[in-house]
Structure 1
């Protein structure tokens, strides 16, 4: 079953990457869907049959989406900053991680 989960998950990610090569807009549409969350929730329910656990997982995802959007800020300002891709990536990851840690403390 693990191999099937991996194959389905990889297929979704590859489809999104291929769509982005052809059209950044349609690639963004696919990626903006909560595909990872949907897959993870489906796999969690499949493995546990525990709707309450899936519900708690969905609640946590809901609260963590806003701070995860901080990842994109450096890329939005790239035209002014002219930072290299990996610097934007690292700064975005640090911003998102900081936001998520902050949200963890807010929710406790």
Structure 2
């Protein structure tokens, strides 16, 4: 394992850990932190550092933007939770399935 890989894992894990700790104290600010495109910022930064390829990073950003509406499918079961009362795990599984179907559909388009 090289040092850059370890750095990527540590920085990325730290971002998630900070967001979850913040959400325990104030859900709104935890959500704000996660709503920021942190994963995209980190992934694009690491991709550029490793490749120095502007065109590759631009294509990556374009595909992320195109997939953004599809990722919202993941949250639909959680928004319906007050009516369905399914609980966390079923909502997580349904949201993941919806996301998978949406990504599969977008893959056919992109």
Distance 1:55 1:106 in 2: 18
Scaled by the length of structure 1, what TM-score is found? 0.95
Distance 1:97 1:8 in 2: 27
Which residue in 2 is equivalent to 1:3? 6
Structural mapping, 1:23-42, within 5 Å? 23-42=26-45
Which residue in 1 is equivalent to 2:77? 74
Structural mapping, 1:1-108, within 5 Å? 1-107=4-110
Distance 2:103 2:71 in 1: 7
Matched length: 107
User: Hey, which bits of structure 1, 4+ residues long, moved more than 2 A?
Assistant: none
Secondary structure at the counterpart of residue 83 of structure 1? coil
Contact 1:68 1:97 in 2 (8 A): no
Extract unaligned runs of 5+ from structure 2: none
Scaled by the length of structure 2, what TM-score is found? 0.94
Shift of 1:37: 0.7
